[in-house]
Amino acid sequence: DAKTTQPNSMESNEEEPVHLPCNHSTISGTDYIHWYRQLPSQGPEYVIHGLTSNVNNRMASLAIAEDRKSSTLILHRATLRDAAVYYCIPGDSNYQLIWGAGTKLIIKP
């Protein structure tokens, strides 16, 4: 199983972009990189996933390093509602994802 390293917490100002880093140096060639977030007192919600190419959706962008040993989740314009714990999870199936402690994102108004 790929091991991930994420900052314990990050702070950002409202309406500014946020870059959440994740190191996954032991990722295998078939592992996707999944990102989920968990708002306070809620179940996690899917954010985005990718394999090699950068990915965009309505919530965020995912930038994957060329060697795939790291990735960055980008929130283009953070709002207070984006305050959550963000989990970066490598895995080749959503079946056996190993969840770490994630990064707690604090948004300052």
Partner 1 sequence: GAGVSQSPSNKVTEKGKDVELRCDPISGHTALYWYRQSLGQGLEFLIYFQGNSAPDKSGLPSDRFSAERTGGSVSTLTIQRTQQEDSAVYLCASSRRTGVYEQYFGPGTRLTVT
3-state secondary structure 70-103: EEEEEECCCCHHHCEEEEEEEECCHHHCCCCCCE
Neighbours of 48 (CB within 10 A): 20
CB of 100 to partner 1, least distance (A): 5
Choose, by CB under 8 A, the member of 32, 55, 61, 74 that binds partner 1. Answer: 32
The stretch near partner 1 (CB under 8 A) out of 10-18, 20-28, 72-80, 86-94 is 86-94
Using rule CB under 8 A, residue 45 touches partner 1: yes
Does residue 25 contact residue 75 with C-beta atoms inside 8 Å?
no
CB of 95 to partner 1, least distance (A): 5
CB of 32 to partner 1, least distance (A): 5
Using rule CB under 8 A, residue 90 touches partner 1: no
Neighbours of 27 (CB within 10 A): 23
Using rule CB under 8 A, residue 53 touches partner 1: no
Residues within the interface to partner 1 (CB under 8 A) = 32, 34, 36, 42-46, 49, 87, 92-102
